[in-house]
Amino acid sequence: MKTIISDGNKVEVKSYGTEKVFYNGELVSKKFSMLGSTHTFNADENNRSIQYDIQIGTRWHGFSFWLEVRKEGKIIFTDR
């Protein structure tokens, strides 16, 4: 599992067959994927609806995954 903190909010990503994305402990997206996919969800932050896009991919050796997190279109985390 990978965890990203942004403005006091926690985004957690699990990717082992079934990808799961949690926002402050609440499941906000779930997909089955072998090679990765993109998860999009909206969250209420400071009375505004904020869009998150999370792209998950498999590393070349297949034993772990990379992650790119965008908040309102801006990259806030990547380990590609």
End-to-end CA distance of the chain: 15
Q: What ranges do the domains of the chain cover?
A: 2-78
pLDDT tens digits along 6-39:
999 999 999 877 999 999 999 999 999 877 899 9
CA 41, 38, 63, 16 dihedral sign is: positive
- This prediction has a pTM of 0.90
Fold of the domain spanning 2-78: Lipocalin (2.40.128)
Query: What are the tokens at 44?
Result: 């209420």
Reported as a pLDDT band with limits 50, 70 and 90, residue 62 is low
